[in-house]
Structures are given as C-alpha cells and as structure tokens.
Structure 1
Amino acid sequence: MSKQYHFIAIGGAVMHNLALALLSKGYEVTGSDDEIYEPSRSRLKEAGILPEQKGWFPEKIHQGLEGIILGMHAKVDNPELIRAKELKIPIYSFPEFIYEQSKNKKRVVISGSHGKTTITSMILHVLKTSGMDFDYLVGAQIEGFDLMVGLSDAKLILIEGDEYLTSPLDRRPKFFHYHHDILLMSGIAWDHFNVFPSFKNYADQFSQLAQMTPENGTFIFFEGDPYVKTIAESLPVNKTEKIPYAEHPAIIKEGQTFLLTEEGELPINVFGKHNLQNLQGALEICKSLGIKTKQFYQGIQSFKGAAKRQQVLAKASDSILFRDFAHAPSKLKATVEAVKMQYPKRRLIAVQELHTYSSLNKDFIHNYANSFDAADTAIIYLNPKAVSLKKLELMDEATLRAAFKRKDLQLFTVIEKLKKYLEEQDYHHCNLLLMSSGNYDDMDLTTLQSIINKKHL
C-alpha cells in the first residue's frame, strides 16, 4: 500500500507543486485549504486532488496518514493541525519534508536576498541540457520543467533556499532545514520587514546559515557584496572551501548581451549586471558539480529566464513590454537599471505595484530611495484594499516622492486609471516595465500587448 500524505494549505505555489510531485512518485495525496487560486486550482483538479470543499475538515486526519505537510498559510489553531497533534501524526513543514526526502543526497542550496530563483533556474537548465540526474526545489515555474519540485532517486538535489519563515509552528527561516553541502550566497539587502525588524537581525540569518556549512563543504559567494564577503571571511580557515565570484564579463550590442569567453562572444537571452552576477554564480556551482565550463556555456545560451523575471509579454522593433517580479528595493533598482542599460536610447516607463508588507509600510519605504532613478517615467500603483488588509496607513504622493527621492513620481490608486494611462502612451522607442510580486489586481494586459505587438504590422 502506498504512503499517504495530507497537505494543510495545499493551494500554495510550492505546496501544490510538492503535492503533484508526490503524486507522480506514486504516493496518495489529500489536502485542504480555505482558498485556492489559479493556477493551483486547475492543476490540482486535473490531477484529481482538488479538495471538494473550501475549508478545514478534521475528519480528513486519520491514523493511516504517513505524515502531514503544513503550509505557511495555515494558522496555529487550524482544526486539522490540532487533530493531527492529537493523533500524534508526524507534522512536516515543506522544508523539513524536502530534507527528509533528500538526506542521503548531495544538497546544493542557493541563498541571498535577490537572484535566488534565477541562479537556481540557470543551474537547472544547464544540468538538464548536460543530461545529469537531479532533484530540485525552485520558487518559480521554469520553461522545460512541469513542476517547481522534482523528487526521484537522483543523488543530487538543488534547492532555492528562502529566508522566509518555515511554518506557523516554526518561525525560523526555511533555509536552515536543508543542511547544505554546497551553499551559494548572492547578496544581502533587507527584506521581510514584518518578520526581521532590523537589518542586523535579517543579516544574522544569513551568517548563521553560512556557519552551518559542514567540514569539506563549499561556500560560493558574491564578493561584490560587503556583507556576504564579511560572512565568508568569518568562516573557519581550512574547514570550508570558499569560492568568490563577480560579474561575468559581457558586452551589449544593439540590445543584445554577449558573454565574453575563451570561446568568443556568446549571445544570451538575459541581461543586466545582476543577471551577469547570477550567471557567474551558476557557473561556479556547475563547476563544483563536475560540469565543464564549455558545457555550461553551451547550455546557458538557450536559457530564457524564470517566469516573471524580465519576462517579455509583447515586443516590436523599438519597444518591449516587460513583466518582472521585482518588489524589494535592491531588486527594483537592479531591474530598472538593467532595462535602461540594455536599451539606453529608448524611453523607459517603469511601474511598481507596492504589494508586500515592507513596501506598504511608511517606516520601511525610505529604503526605496533612488531605486527608480534610471526610469524616464516612474509610476507607483497602490491598492488601498491591500493597505487596509495589512492594517497599515495609506501613503500619499508626497510621502512616496520623498521616500523614492523622485519629485516627478506618479501615484495611481485605481487600477482602471492606471490601465487607461498606460494604454494612452506612445510606445515608439519606448519600453514598459511592470514590476510586482502581486498581479496588479488582475489588470487585463491584452490591449497593451496588442498596442505594442501591432505597432509595426
């Protein structure tokens, strides 16, 4: 009889992917949630494991379960969780469960405030093109991979190591649970203000993670970040292999980035300083796993990026509509600068939806100073509903202009008005960059896409 697991809060991005991964391994899977959005809903339904009703049902919890997998969205007083405790059924957060499934494998963890998903995706792409067997956990949908989680009998697992909280029962960062053999750290820039109240508290989590590197383990780090460099220097000498990396050399010609290599100039599909740093970090990981540099370059040329990372939604000869996940200050600044540097002769309209707790908080917002400087037109979208849901104070245009240090910053609080404004712009020699970890209240982009796509038809 196959093992059976029950997911409390099965609708989450990683949670539903893990559920589907276990199902594909031949396990029995059930789950509950009080709300399930797309694409989770359709994918669970297609697999035959979409809960029949929304809500929590203690009767779903029984002694025949091998374990409970608890999502971050569940509360500590969840009735299913209470029942599981009464029956003494093992309860795992998804990081703990991933470790349970991989404790006999080589574990590679990618950490840092920015670039985690892209670096992990680059490595996955190259490992796949090289024909290597591996398991993985990544925080976005990637081209060529059906799921965000892959579990098999492979001897290697690649994990995107998130610093956010593990579960309602465990308030530590997820990345502590993976017990890495090889760790990459890309950079540290304060995020998750609601969980880590000071930069020191936030940075300390990364320092503790690096200290967990075992004897004969490897620490690969971006040496351009002073905080990461200090962490590397604090690790015991002769205990851990330390490999620094910097930005991969490249040039831009006519809006196309080329890597400068011993093989000559190699065209790639991604661009910007951060992506060249990410690429070099991915190269160092691949080399540590036995991939030859030449093999890496062959694979990386066909890498198109992770979902919502410099994602092209529409394109004409002199304009592009980009969608990007950028939300924290360092990500916003890097993304805006990357697009402007890649297309310096084009006007850049950059729109940021303030969606996270940190970005909506007037005590944190000053951290966004100068992050919009490279944009020709800078726009903020702020949904009053999101502010009230997070029980915060709605900021006005003057507050935001002062925080971003941008006197011409425009503020929209009604999505229809923003949509109308964007559709009325002239996109000749102009790029539009939409950034958010949210979805702009499901703003319909079809008109904007057709405006750009049809410009030169």
Structure 2
Amino acid sequence: MRKKRYYLIGIAGVAMASLAGLLKKKGHEVVGSDQDVYPPMSDMLKSLKIPVFKPYNVFHMKRHKPDIVVIGNAIGRGNPELEYVISNGLPYRSMSDILREEFIAWPSKPWRSRQQRKAIVIAGTHGKTTTTAIVAWILETAGFDPSIFVGGFMRNINSTFKLGKGKYVVLEGDEYDTAFFDKGPKFWHYRPFIGLVNNIELDHIDIYKDLDAIKFAFGRFINLIPQNGLLVVSRENQNAYTLSQKMAKSPIATYGVKSGDYKAKNIKFTDGYISFDVHYNGHLPDSKAGVLSDIRTKLIGKYNISNILGAIAIVKFLKIPDVKIKNAIATFEGVKRRQEIIGEKNGITVIDDYAHHPTAVRLTLDAVRQRFPAYAKASADKHKKRRIVCIFEPGSASSKRRVFEKQYIESFKHADLVYLYKPFNAQSLQKRETFNGKYVSQMLHKNGVLASNFENIDKMLFHMKQHVKPRDVICIMSCRGFDGLYKQIWDIL
C-alpha cells in the first residue's frame, strides 16, 4: 500500500472524523481543518493524533502539500481552502468516494485479498444508526472482524469506526447529498452487497423537493444490490416495501414486529430489558424456517425490536449461529445519544436523544413511556404520576421549517410537559417558513399538553427548575449537541 497524504476540509463532523480515523488506522498521513471543533469528535481526533487546523486557512494546505483533498458535504464555494484547491488543480474527492476506494472493493473478480471488502449498508429515514451498530456488533462478536462506519458512538467499542481485517464492512448509508460537486446521496457510492431499508419518509427538504424525490434516491440504492446479494426491507413501512418490489434485482427478506419473513412473538417488557422470540419462514434459497427464542435486549421501544429483526435477517443470511446472535444482542450497549440514559439525580431521570424527525420523536417518546410507565405497579409511588418532560430543539434542515408542524404537534402529545427551543441557525429562512414554536405550544395547550416556547436557554432552565419534580423523566431531543444542555440541566436538578 502506498502511503498518501490526505487533507480533510470539514474534518470535525462525525462522518468526516470517522473517515479520518479509518485512513489513519490504515497507515495514511491525515490532517484536516474546520471552522470549529467540539467534543466528542475533537477528543477522538486528538486521541488519534490527527492535527486539526481552525479556522480555514490556505496556509495549512500549502504547508502539508496533500496528495488528495477530501471535501466534506458541508463545504461550499467561497470556502478559502476549497477555492485554493480548485484554483490550483489539486486532486479532490468526496468522503463517500474515499470510503469506497479505500475500504470497499466490489468483488468483480474472485476473492483474492483481505483488503477487499463486501459492503453491508444500512439505510432509512431513521433508525439506521442503531441498526448499523447492531449488525456491526453481531459480526464483531461472531469473529468476523468487520470494518465499521457508523453515525454515532457505539458504546461497545466507544467509537464511530473500526478498521477490521475481515471481508465485510458495515456502513451507515446516508441519503443526504455527497458534496458541492456531487448532489446525489452518499449511499449511491457504497455498492452494497447487502442493503437494508428500514423506512422511507419525507425528510431533508432542503435537497429533496418531495417524497417522490426521496423514493427515487432509495430506489436507485436498492437497484445497486447484486443478484447474489440481499435486500432486507421493512414489511411495515409501505413506502420501503412497495419500492423494493419495483426496484430490487436481488433476493428480498422482509421483517416487522407483526408481519414479514422475520417477525417478533411473545414480546415482554421487563424492567431493564425486552425479550421476544423471532419467527422466520426460510423463504430464501438455502434457508429453513425456524424460531430464534428468547432474544433479550437492553434497548427500549418497539421500534428497536424492529431494528433488531432487520439486523437478524442480515446475519442469518451470513450463516451466523443463533447462539452468537443472541449473545451479541444481549450484550449490545446501544449508541450514544440514542435514548441514552444519562443518569438519575434527586429522583429525576435524564435521557439524551438524537430524534428530530416527527416520527422519530413520537417513537422515542413511546419508548420512554414503555420503559418508564406513568404509574408504578407496586411501590410507595404507585399513585404519583411519572411525567415525560420533552425538550426539543429544531436543528435539522427539515425540523427548523414549518413543513412538519402538524406532525410535531401529534408527536409531542405523547409527552406530559414540552419545552420548545428556538430553531438552530435559522437566520437564512424567512419567518413564514420557519418553525413556529409559539404556535406549536399553543396548539399543544389546546390538546391538554403543557408546553412552552423559549428563545433563551437560561430562561428555559429557570422555568424547568421551578416545574420539574421527582419521578419526572426529562428527554432531550436534538440532532446536534444542544450546547451541552444535559450538563446544564444536571446542574440545576
């Protein structure tokens, strides 16, 4: 392998920092730049001894003379380093290009080298990070030594990536655009051998004009899977299932809590874990029907049962023994900021979550309610209601717009007390198209849900201090760090 000098513009995002780590582990020289760098990615890059320069300045690029410049998808024309790259004819690639070229090799010829890998790509509007991590952990504990690229910190490996020696790479497939010069989704680049689509909904309305545009993107992804590969798709998401019937050229395995080739039976919610049996019909060639009994998981919520079912469909295709599948799921610790229980203080539980799409908000609140019932069955507090306190920051390109306001109102009805914070970085949007927290809180009040809208964190914290009480469960929802809000909340409890 020839050692290369890589320079990553926009290195501090989760995906770009993970790519930097993979490149470093492979033996390349890696440096990068960003406007700002925050934990946890700053800590990860520091531990990897990858230099990060801020803010952007062409001096750093001139000094390091990179062989290849990787352009993050948040970087656009006008960035001084990007303009230098273009003006001077430096070779540049997207993150997805480099992932494919360095860590995925489509097996167009017989298997010869351990450097070649088959891609297992997990896609969908939501749930893909957790599902990717589950698949990766099953392969890891089964001895496959996979390479891993996931959009959140896997608690089991305390990282977002891993460079393995095995022939599989497990990737989270993002439908967001690739780079300023490539407006197609990232997952078109990964050439999946196995692909999973857990759901398809309208999202990313800054780049997709409607649901049909998103279906087109996912349809092309599905069509990339070869005939000797496998498409795994949710039978309970009609958009995903219908599209699979039209676009797939590979075998298809379906899954769902109640319907599909892989489905759950005997679901039991017990304090601390969920248990269930998996029934599968063996419809694929060289497979048999059967039951995988007594699956146990620390994850919460029915939608995580669905995520596990999709993962099981993949690993059964890879002939991983049942005992190893069950052990991996039982020991899977989840992903940071996905229903992550920060802790309990003075009888108040704090949860940090990434949910930002209205469907994800609703499913997360339902999962929290399952884990923390409104009334205890047998305790001194059985007559005291346990409230769910939801704190929501519209931070994604879709959530900061008004397009989903009605859906958010329905989702927030699953909480008892709602705090809405101002949309993050929405200055470029006109007022009439910006998420209106005041309107949403008023509509929630009309539906019997206590809700408040805040423009200032200190005022919101002051209000919370006056109104939260023991047995409350505070669920923070934001697709970004929310300025470390959970630490500030912890301090006032």
TM-score between both structures, scaled by the size of structure 2: 0.83
Q: Distance in 2 between matches of 1:135 and 1:405?
A: 50
Partner of 1:454: none
Answer yes or no: is 1:219 the counterpart of 2:259. Answer: no
| Matches of 2:195 and 2:437, distance apart in 1 | 42
What residue identity is the alignment partner of 2:425? A
State the secondary structure of the residue aligned to 1:367. Answer: helix
Answer yes or no: is the 8 Å Cα contact 1:319–1:431 preserved in 2. Answer: yes
Residue type of the alignment partner of 2:250: T
Distance (whole Å) between structure 2 residues aligned to residue 257 and residue 378 of structure 1? 27
Residue 430 of structure 1 aligns with which residue?
472
Amino acid at match of 2:426: V
Query: For 1:258, which of 260, 275, 281 is the aligned residue?
Result: 275
Superposed counterparts of 1:24-423, under 5 Å: 24-57=25-58, 60-61=61-62, 65-101=66-102, 102-103=104-105, 104-235=116-247, 239-247=249-257, 248-249=264-265, 250-254=267-271, 256-260=273-277, 265-315=294-344, 319-344=348-373, 345=375, 346-383=386-423, 386-388=425-427, 390=429, 392-393=431-432, 395-402=436-443, 406=447, 408=449, 409-423=451-465
**Which residue identity lines up with residue 98 of structure 2 in the other structure?**
F
SS at match of 2:427: helix
> For residues 63 and 12 of structure 1, do their structure 2 counterparts lie closer, same or farther at Cα, with a shift above 3 Å needed?
closer
How far did 1:399 drift?
A: 4.8
Deviations along 1:82-112, whole A, 9 cap, x unmatched?
4434554432111111110211321111000
* Separation in structure 2 between the aligned mates of residue 63 and residue 420 of structure 1, nearest angstrom: 49
Counterpart residue number, 1:455: none
Distance 2:53 2:416 in 1: 49
| Counterpart contact for 1:33–1:56, Cα < 8 Å | no
**Partner of 1:445 in structure 2?**
487
Change beyond 3 A, Cα 1:449–1:122: farther
Q: Gaps (5+ residues) in structure 1?
A: 452-457
> What CA distance in whole angstroms lies between the structure 1 residues aligned with 2:59 and 2:244?
47
TM superposition shift of 1:200: 1.8
- With the length of structure 1 as denominator, give the TM-score of the two structures: 0.89
CA distance in 2, matches of 1:201, 1:4: 37
Equivalent residues of 2:215, 2:243 under 8 A apart? no
Query: Once the 2 structures are TM-superposed, how far is the Cα of residue 176 of structure 1 from its aligned partner?
Result: 0.6
Q: Tell me the matched-pair count.
A: 448
CA distance in 2, matches of 1:190, 1:403: 23
Distance (Å, rounded) in 1 between the aligned partners of 2:129 and 2:489: 30
**What is the DSSP-based 3-state SS (H/G/I as helix, E as strand, rest coil) of the residue aligned with 1:124?**
helix
Contact persistence 1:415–1:441 (CA under 8 A):
no
Q: Is contact 1:190–1:203 with CA below 8 Å preserved after alignment?
A: no
Match of 2:9 in 1: 8
> How far does residue 357 in structure 1 lie from its aligned partner after superposition?
2.4
Aligned residues of 1:181 and 1:217 also touching (Cα < 8 A): yes
2:403 is paired with a residue whose SS is coil
